[in-house]
Structure 1
Amino acid sequence: MARGATGRSGGVGGVFTGIGLLARGLGLVLARPKLFWLGMIPPLITSVLMVVLLVMLGMNLGSIVDALTGFTQAWGDVGSVVRAVVGVVLVGAAVLLMVLTFTTITLALGDPIYEQISRRVDAEFGPLPPEPSEPVGAMVGRVVRQSGATIGLSLLVAVGCFAVGLIPVVGSVLAAVSSALLGGRLMVREITGPALERRGLLETADRRPVLQGHGAMMLGFGVPVFWLLSIPGVAVLVFPAAVAGATLLVRRMRGEDTGPGAGRTEKGGRGK
């Protein structure tokens, strides 16, 4: 068994633990081909939408940059550099916002599929937690409220990273690092939803104590997921694995079993 007293793992070891959980999640969904293929459908739909939006941004990028930096027209070469930087940072902020909203939209589209993937992973390592009782109306209201809050927070992060990117010399690098770190944390908060809800942690405030104290492990898991989901074709393949890995992440943070073969309850060992 891989049960710890607190399930905590910090520092560099925690980062590698998070990366390893993502890799294990991939292995778990590949062992269930039907669920893996079903899990690719929602991110495929969302990816098409995001690519269309990104192409539209690219087609209108020049006009948007001109509107934002019209005052630099008389600055000569310096103005050209400023406009180029603004264009790059604007695209980066847009990608950040798209990746974060991508997760929210995809989870909503594929909720039954990802709930099943998460359940299968939980069943692989121990008895399933008792299902929380929540009226349908309350559940719908909660999901809408939480999704709206996530999109609003994602927009705030994207605007903040855009502003950081405008800092001379180091802005672009700081914006890229900030978007990865903040995006990774937001990604974990979203994608651990199915496993946390199964444990009765329905509200964001209820989930916060579980996530606290695991920053390194969350980043080790969330940052690679964030970067992989920013690549449209790769995102389709990664999303089912990320949901499975997120379930392992929740088990690890709560000190539950994550060892190979621990508490396997599915008939015949593995689902089809």
Structure 2
Amino acid sequence: MRDLGVGFGYLIKGQRWVGRHGRWFGFGLIPGLITLVVYAAALVGLGYGADDFVSWATPFADDWSSPWLGLLRVTLTVLVFGLGLFLAVITFTAVTLLVGQPFYESLSEQVDRSEGGDVPESGLPLWRELWISARDSLRILVRVSLYAVLLFALGFVPVVGQTVVPAIGFCVTGYFLAEELTAVALQRRGLVLADRLALLRGRRMLTLGFGVPLGLAFLVPFVAVFLMPGAVAGATLLARDLTAPPTDDEDAAPSPYSLDKG
């Protein structure tokens, strides 16, 4: 359980880092602002069209008497919008990171430089980095979509659907948010998607401590944009912890995810 607090601490440290480096904070805002405009328009459209979609998808209920018809369609409308919001929270980071790849690479490198030690570089051309990021983000989106469909279905289970399922949903959101954000620093260290996921699973509570509070904060309009620069900085600090070689007083074998892998 201690790792939960440590993970949250990295989130706070990242925000403090950009607070001390105002130029990098402004630099990191640009991709988020661009993505926010696109997502806001999409969510507004979903808000206006969700009820029409539910009506189209449930013609079998047209002859139902009141209040069952209204109860069914209002419930489904809320669930559809909730599913859209869930996917928006998850994909916002991936899309913002893709749009802002050059911005966040520079920001992450600067965090590494300010902390001392080696500053890993991928050595890949920009187009190749964008391709890898887009490919990995698509793979993550497929995984998240499977979770979303499962949680959507479980949402109809009485009691459990209104209590346990939302909690699991936030944990899923937080876990994959942490993966997307740490990917900026871990890709520079030569870790492919499978290795990154294995690394995060090995410190699951640390990952959730970082990602879940961030996922909750991202539900507040505009907050995601202003937290993104600090989130990337905090994720870089988290990545340094995850890939740090064991200290001399540790008995464990050297980590397969140490810096020399990149």
Distance 1:24 1:130, change over 3 A: closer
1:113 maps to amino acid: F
1:231-250 matches, cutoff 5 A: 231-250=220-239
Q: Does 1:159 align with 2:149?
A: yes
Contact 1:228 1:234 in 2 (8 A): yes
Alignment partner of 1:100 is 2:72: no
Distance in 1, Cα, partners of 2:127 & 2:107: 24
| Equivalence for 1:264 | none
Distance in 2 of aligned mates of 1:182 and 1:75: 38
Partner of 1:50: 39
RMSD across aligned positions (CA):
2.1
| Structure 1 residues not aligned, in runs of 5+ | 1-10, 258-272
Cα distance change of structure 1 residues 14 and 75 upon mapping to structure 2, 3 Å threshold: farther
Q: Give the whole-Å Cα distance in 1 for the aligned partners of 2:198 and 2:50.
A: 42
- In the alignment, does 2:204 pair up with 1:215? yes
Secondary structure of 1:88's counterpart equals: helix
Q: Quick check: 1:196–1:207 contact (8 Å CA) kept in 2? A: yes
**Separation of aligned partners in 2, 1:125 and 1:194:** 16
Alignment partner of 1:144 is 2:134: yes
3-state secondary structure, aligned to 1:232:
coil
Distance 1:158 1:168, change over 3 A: same
Q: Distance in 1 between matches of 2:69 and 2:165?
A: 21
Provide Cα deviations, 1:28-68, integer angstroms capped at 9, x if missing partner.
01111111011111111111111111110111121112123
- TM-score, scaled to structure 2: 0.85
What's the counterpart of residue 205 of structure 1?
194
Deviation at 1:133, TM superposition (A): 3.7
Q: 1:135 to 1:158 in 2, by over 3 A?
A: same
Q: Does 1:70 align with 2:59?
A: yes
Unaligned runs of 5+ in 2: 247-262
Structure 1 CA distance, aligned partners of 2:177 and 2:36?
16
Count residues with an aligned counterpart: 245
1:90 partnered with 2:80: yes
Aligned equivalents of 1:116, 1:177: Cα separation in 2: 35
Q: What secondary structure sits across from 1:58 in the alignment? A: helix
Q: Which residue of 1 aligns with 2:180?
A: 190
Q: Give the structure-1-normalised TM-score.
A: 0.82
1:248 match: secondary structure:
helix
